[in-house]
Amino acid sequence: MPQLWRLRPRREIELNGRKLAVWVLCAAVAGAGEAAAQATGDYATDLGRVYGAYQRLLATKEACDTAAPGTRPANEKAYAAWRTRHGALIGDLQRRVVALICLASKDEKDYAKNIGKYEGSILQERQEYRDTLLSLGAGELEQQCRRWPVFLASPEADFGKAYAAEFETIRKRK
């Protein structure tokens, strides 16, 4: 049975010679705790890996809100607590993604084009992931959505720990 949090990279977005990994659902592959062991040491790749994990959380919340509305109150509370614990990390990740896009742009016009292109691609991947979750079937997805608050409180969902190696690479760059 596929788990919401078991993923692998599907493709990468090329950004001026740098690659950002984009993620999708994959049954029985590396969980969040194993992702740290896969850190590449490359700033853009590791940033993409962690930012992709955040996008998967958002997609999971969206899928659960849609397919299992009865889980919404518990999931909302758990996600809000997770977001409070990780707010500074998420803000830093978002700032870094925008900065990477800015650095890959030659001027304001190019930046406007690139920000739309890459944010659109990230949103598309998130929607594809959400749709993959929604295709699991109502019963299976609802069971997983009921377990999601436990996952959000687990060490696997602690981005600082689960992605420590990636953050080590990311934080080397100011």
Exposure letters 74-111 (e unless 16+ CB within 10 A, then b): ebeebbeebeebbeebbebbeebbeebbeebbeeeeeb
Token pair for 167: 């953050």
| Helices and strands counted in the chain (H then E) | 7, 2
What whole-number distance in Å separates Cα of residue 34 and Cα of residue 23?
A: 15
Question: How far from the centroid of its chain's Cα atoms is residue 38's Cα?
Answer: 15
pLDDT by residue for the chain (174 residues), tens only, comes to: 334 433 334 444 454 444 444 332 222 222 333 344 477 889 989 999 999 999 999 999 999 999 999 999 999 999 999 999 999 999 999 999 999 888 888 898 998 998 899 889 999 999 999 999 999 888 899 999 999 999 999 999 999 999 999 999 999 987
Report the run of H or E that residue 18 belongs to, with start and end.
strand 18-25
pTM higher than the cut 0.85:
no
CB 3 within 8 A of CB 38: no
Token pair for 88: 């500074």
Parallel/antiparallel/unpaired status of strands 7-15 and 18-25: antiparallel
